[in-house]
């Protein structure tokens, strides 16, 4: 497997969630029984990625450092850098440029939640050493997302269109992007849009113009939610609650993923569980050894 560098973009002001996010960063809000940030971190860990950068706002840095005081207890190398202003998704590649080095990059947005059977295998197989890869997910409201415009004959990507006013298809692009190591150079050459930000659609279209943008549809059983609005945050919490209750399993538990990946020992798992006391989450981690 190609070694990849992981980035979670957890900056931004979360204005769609006001007043919830007036004083709390949205990626620290609960999605049922876990902070939202646990979900994108788990996504990267499921892909086998152990070197992760979380990009946060300056005022939130100490909170994230308190949430993950000893990331080595998860068997990963976790670092934090700040994004002073919300300059768009491609800005993450500029902030993390020195850490990326010559490695492929997997970028996930902090409010995007991925769940489902076979997710880890799908993610691991998507790490790419040349070009870029994204996923397509059918939605009923494509006008709210970046949408794939495909060639009807070859199914190749012609363009990614941000919030199209006219219907061009219903395949939205989730906030999960696999790119090669040249992505920082591409991001550097981008021009800001009319709203004053670097646009991820512009970056993806650079790859598309080179015929280097690969698209895969999520298989049935894999779900994606953007938890960046009040309704979607509530729906995501409901979904996690229902699935965990029915199956008796935790979804997006970094400790469990680290243990199953053999990044941490049984003893470390028990030590980690003690951070959660006698809660259902702590008891669940201890039960894994039964």
Tens-binned pLDDT, residue by residue, of the chain (290 aa): 568 999 999 998 889 999 999 999 999 999 999 999 999 999 999 999 999 999 999 999 999 999 999 999 999 999 999 999 999 999 999 999 999 999 999 999 999 999 988 899 999 999 999 999 999 999 999 998 999 998 877 778 899 999 999 999 999 999 999 999 999 999 999 999 998 999 999 999 999 999 999 999 887 788 899 999 999 999 999 999 999 999 999 999 999 999 999 999 999 999 999 999 999 999 999 999 98
Nearest Cα neighbor of 250 from 280, 229, 227, 213 is 280
Beta-strand ranges (E) seen in 10-104 are: 30-31, 34-35, 51-56, 77-82
Residue 260 lies in a domain: no
**Residue 179 in contact with residue 105, Cβ under 8 Å?**
yes
Give me 138's structure tokens: 């059918």
The pLDDT of residue 143 is 92
Let me know: does 40 contact 107? Beta carbons within 8 Å. Answer: no
Residue 188 located in a structural domain? yes
In a domain, 147, yes or no: no
Of residues 192, 4, 31, 249, the one with CA closest to residue 106: 4
Listed in sequence order, the residues at least 6 apart from 148 whose beta carbon sits closer than 8 Å to its beta carbon are 136, 157, 160, 169, 171, 172, 173, 215
Q: What are the backbone angles phi and psi of residue 90, rounded to the nearest 5°?
A: -60, -20
- How many domains in the chain? 1
In a domain? residue 286: no
Residue 220 within a domain: yes
Its pTM stands at 0.96
Beta pairing, strands 157-162 & 146-150? antiparallel
At 59, which CATH number? Answer: 3.90.550.10
The C-alpha atoms of residue 87 and residue 84 are separated, in whole angstroms, by 9
C-alpha distances in angstroms, 108 versus 45, 197, 226, 272?
12, 18, 11, 25
* In a domain? residue 281: no
- DSSP at 187: H
Residue 36 lies in a domain: yes
Note down the domain range covering 15: 5-133+174-252
The pLDDT value given to residue 1: 58
218 inside domain = yes
| Of 34, 59, 70, nearest in space to 227 by CA | 34
């Amino acid at each position: 497997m190609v070694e990849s560098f992981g980035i979670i973009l957890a900056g931004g002001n979360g204005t769609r969630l006001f007043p919830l996010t007036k004083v709390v960063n949205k990626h620290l809000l609960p999605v049922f029984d876990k902070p939202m940030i646990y979900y994108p971190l788990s996504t990267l860990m499921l892909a086998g990625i152990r070197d992760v950068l979380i990009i946060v706002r300056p005022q939130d840095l100490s909170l994230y450092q308190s949430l993950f005081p000893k990331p080595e207890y998860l068997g990963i190398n976790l670092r934090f850098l700040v994004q002073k202003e919300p300059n768009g998704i491609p800005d993450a590649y500029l902030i993390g440029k020195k850490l990326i080095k010559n490695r492929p990059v997997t970028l996930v947005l902090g409010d995007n939640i991925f769940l489902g059977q076979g997710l880890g295998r799908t993610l691991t197989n998507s790490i790419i050493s040349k070009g870029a890869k994204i996923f397509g997910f059918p939605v009923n409201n494509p006008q709210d997302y970046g949408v794939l415009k495909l060639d009807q004959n070859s199914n190749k990507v012609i363009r990614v269109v941000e919030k199209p006013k006219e219907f061009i298809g219903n395949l939205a692009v989730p906030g999960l992007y696999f790119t090669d190591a040249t992505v920082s150079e591409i991001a550097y050459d981008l021009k800001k849009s009319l709203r004053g930000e670097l646009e991820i659609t512009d970056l993806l279209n650079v790859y598309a113009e080179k015929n280097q943008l690969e698209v895969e549809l999520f298989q049935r059983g894999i779900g994606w939610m953007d938890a960046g609005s009040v309704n979607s945050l509530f729906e995501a919490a409901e979904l996690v609650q229902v699935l965990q209750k029915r199956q008796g399993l935790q979804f997006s538990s970094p400790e469990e993923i680290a243990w199953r990946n053999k990044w941490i020992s049984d003893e470390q798992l028990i030590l980690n569980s003690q951070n959660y006391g006698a809660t259902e989450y702590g008891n669940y981690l201890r039960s894994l050894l039964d």
